[in-house]
Amino acid sequence: MKTCPHCGKANDPQAIYCELCGKVLQSSEAANRYTVAQSHGQSLYQEMTPPAAGFNTPIYSETPIVEGRDPYSNPYNLERPYEQGFSSNIPYTPAPLYYAQPTISQGRSVGGIIFGIIFYLIGLTSASIGAGGFTQAFGSNDSILTIAFLLVGLVGLVALVVVTILHKKPFLKWWMRLLIVIGLIIVGFVVLIIAAVASDFTHNPDRTLDLYLGGIMFVFGALIAVFAVL
């Protein structure tokens, strides 16, 4: 046993420093140099100079190993990869789901509103004239014809105001409405010509002509008015 000359602590015979106070136990040249073994059992040694006199060597404690976990185990869970993490105590949080944002449809422009109103009035005028002509086919007088014309026109104007206020996002693009309206006008004229020719072969051409022309103008005028504001 080596007794420390400073504190009197009994130390191991091979010890160089005191386990209690850290002072040098012997002043021989063997105490001035010591060797540290290299890792993995190699036979190479590195000479190191001991600390100066009066330096207190810190007492190191071993790092405790957490029980229940192998320090050499793979931290990644190969069987359940969605639970991988540095700690099993951290709860798994799924990645947030990103949904496609809905497209924002633009409202009616000033030009689109004016464009729709013009074609709506064209269709409404055709429907009003057609309603008056249709009643004329049943032998009505001018008063009935005027009432039918004004009634259809008034209802159409009220509907135009309501649709303009409530229906602010059009279903059809302006060019689609333009093509539909032009197509209805062309088809309507063709049907009117066919109806006028066909009425000549009937028993009462005048009444049949009023009936055909009035009905066709009312139907196609109403369709033009509807597609003009969609």
Tell me the domain boundaries of the chain.
2-37, 110-229
Mean of the per-residue pLDDT values of the chain: 76
pLDDT at residue 67 in the model: 57
Q: Find tokens 């088809």 and name the residue.
A: 187
From the number of C-beta atoms within 10 Å of its C-beta (0-12, 13-18, 19+), residue 49 rates as exposed
Q: What is the mean pLDDT of residues 136-152?
A: 85
Q: What is the pLDDT of residues 7-50, one digit of tens each?
A: 888 888 778 888 888 788 765 444 445 444 444 444 454 556 66
Give yes or no for residue 59 having a pLDDT over 80. no
pLDDT at residue 179 in the model: 93
Amino acid, single-letter form, for residue 12: D
Q: Shortest CA distance to 126 belongs to which of 213, 229, 227, 230?
A: 213
* pLDDT classification of 52: cutoffs 50, 70, 90: low
Q: What is the mean pLDDT of residues 147-154?
A: 93
